[in-house]
Amino acid sequence: STCWWEHPTGIFHLTSTLPVIPYQKLTDLYYLSRGGFGTVFKAQHSDWRTTVAIKCLKFDSPFGERERNCLLKEAEVLHKARFNYIIQIFGICNEPEFFCIVTEFMSNGSLDLLLHEKDMYPIFAWPLRLRILYEIALGVNFLHNMNPPLLHHDLKTQNILLDGEFHVKIADFGLSKWRQLSVSKGSGSKPTEMGGTVIYMPPEEYEPSKSRRADVKHDMYSYAIIMWEVLSRQIPFEEVTNPMQIMFSVLRGMRPDTTLDSLPADIPSRGTLISLMTCGWGSNPDERPSFLQCLIELEPMVRKFDEIEYLEAVLEIKRSKQRSSCCAAEPVCEKRSDEGSLNILKTRPSPWPVSFFIHVHILI
Ligand SMILES: Nc1ncnc2c1ncn2[C@@H]1O[C@H](COP(=O)(O)OP(=O)(O)O)[C@@H](O)[C@H]1O
Ligand SMILES: [Mg+2]
């Protein structure tokens, strides 16, 4: 059986249920990120009068059918996987010189920023950290409950986005696969992946012969690493510089440090969280819990906090964000653009064809 996008009329099948957004309705493009695969902009929809995010194909290489199909596949997956904790797709823009998927815009960026920009967010209260972990699990559990199950296979803090109230939306379905299809179809479809990070990848993935059957437990391994990152506010395996070295060590059983040095004593339900985490990143995929089991463990923990405690944690984060952007608007922007993703535009030759600049107004 072939996938719908291999069918010559596949795009029509999708666009009969997903709005087609004309290119000229998207204005005020503001560059957000350039990943291994696509480029993401913030934009305005001129009719809807709202902010959206658009994920486009890279412009430096003339994009072929294969690249277009990857983004189409991502659009189809997002369209089918509609849920509270999954990024919402609004439509696709399908024009000869411009192809992108249009999604809701997440004003608080990705979880890795929230965790590691400690100058901007000196305090990150436990109730909110636990709520974020809980909502990621709710999102992935929904995907695994689809028919056939949808496996994300690229869970990492950069792919966990936060809305205006710091609720979670899982993004980036470029490597996701439908469980039954994956057996015959082989690996994911992002063309120039790798170069990405290896830290969320379960060890059985390095030995492809082993990994097929374990497909369902891949996401749980990544989730356990995310748990550690959220609870420690450290980058996993930061001290190891070589990705090959990380892979060797993980194969030999090394995992992030769970002592008091990394995971402070005041983490609520610390013991339970650590045992969930260590089961989740176990070497034997069969012994890792399902997301259902994980949710059953997390539910009583998030119920311990009341609504006010969550709101206070969110307010604290919002205050720090506002403080760091108003007190030193220029230096903060400068600093962030040097460290973050914006530097790509400064240090690399422009990836955009001239025609692109004529058509859109980039606000940087
Ligand atoms: N809807 C969105 N709202 C805000 N930022 C987004 C949105 N989608 C993506 N981003 C930003 O762009 C980055 C890359 O997007 P992603 O979909 O993960 O593409 P890639 O396949 O290149 O990793 C994210 O890590 C996030 O920082
Ligand atoms: Mg990504």
Predicted local confidence at residue 283, as pLDDT: 96
**Does residue 112 have an active-site annotation?**
no
Residue of 60, 112, 154, 286 marked active site: 154
Q: Would you write out the chain's pLDDT as a tens digit for each of its 364 residues?
A: 334 444 545 677 887 889 999 999 999 999 999 876 789 999 999 999 999 999 998 665 566 777 888 899 999 999 999 999 999 999 999 988 889 999 999 999 999 999 999 999 999 999 999 999 999 999 999 999 999 999 999 999 999 999 999 999 999 999 999 987 544 444 455 654 454 689 999 999 988 776 566 589 999 999 999 999 999 999 999 999 899 999 999 999 999 999 999 999 999 999 999 999 999 999 999 999 999 999 999 999 999 999 999 999 999 999 999 999 877 544 433 333 333 333 333 333 333 333 333 333 333 3
Beta strands at 38-45 and 26-34: parallel, antiparallel or unpaired: antiparallel
Asked if 11-105+337-357 and 111-316 have one fold, the answer is yes
Q: Rounded to the nearest whole angstrom, what is the distance from the C-alpha of residue 335 to the centroid of ligand 2?
A: 22
Q: Rounded to the nearest whole angstrom, what is the distance from the C-alpha of residue 160 to the centroid of ligand 1?
A: 9
* 35 Cβ below 6 A of ligand 1: yes
With helix as H, strand as E and coil as C, how does the chain read? Answer: CCCHHHCCCHHHHHHCCCCECCHHHEEEEEEEEECCCEEEEEEEECCCCEEEEEEEECCCCCCCHHHHHHHHHHHHHHHHCCCCCECCEEEEEEECCEEEEEEECCCCCEHHHHHHCCCCCCCCCHHHHHHHHHHHHHHHHHHHCCCCCEECCCCCHHHEEECCCCCEEECCCCCCEEHHHHHHHCCCCCCCCCCCCCCCCCHHHHCHHHHHHHHHHHHHHHHHHHHHHHHHCCCCCCCCCCHHHHHHHHHCCCCCCCCCCCCCCCCCCHHHHHHHHHHHCCCCHHHCCCHHHHHHHHHHHHHCCCHHHHHHHHHHHHHHHHHHHHCCHHHHHHHHHHHCCCHHHHHCCCCCCHHHHHHCCCCC
Q: Rounded to the nearest whole angstrom, what is the distance from the C-alpha of residue 159 to the centroid of ligand 2?
A: 5
Predicted local confidence at residue 27, as pLDDT: 97
Predicted local confidence at residue 338, as pLDDT: 35
Predicted local confidence at residue 247, as pLDDT: 95
- Class level of CATH domain 11-105+337-357: mainly alpha
Predicted local confidence at residue 347, as pLDDT: 33
pTM: 0.86
* 172 Cβ below 6 A of ligand 1: yes
**Residue with CA at minimum distance from ligand 1 atom 11:** 33
Predicted local confidence at residue 328, as pLDDT: 59
Predicted local confidence at residue 64, as pLDDT: 75
* 33 Cβ below 6 A of ligand 1: yes
| Domain ranges within the chain, ordered by starting residue | 11-105+337-357, 111-316
Predicted local confidence at residue 148, as pLDDT: 95
Whether domain 111-316 has CATH 1.10.3720.10: the reply is no
* 106 Cβ below 6 A of ligand 1: yes
Query: Which atom of ligand 1 has the smallest separation from the CA of 196?
Result: 23
* 15 Cβ below 6 A of ligand 1: no
Query: Which atom of ligand 1 has the smallest separation from the CA of 34?
Result: 22
Asked if residue 192 lies in contact with residue 37, where contact means CB atoms within 8 angstroms, the answer is yes
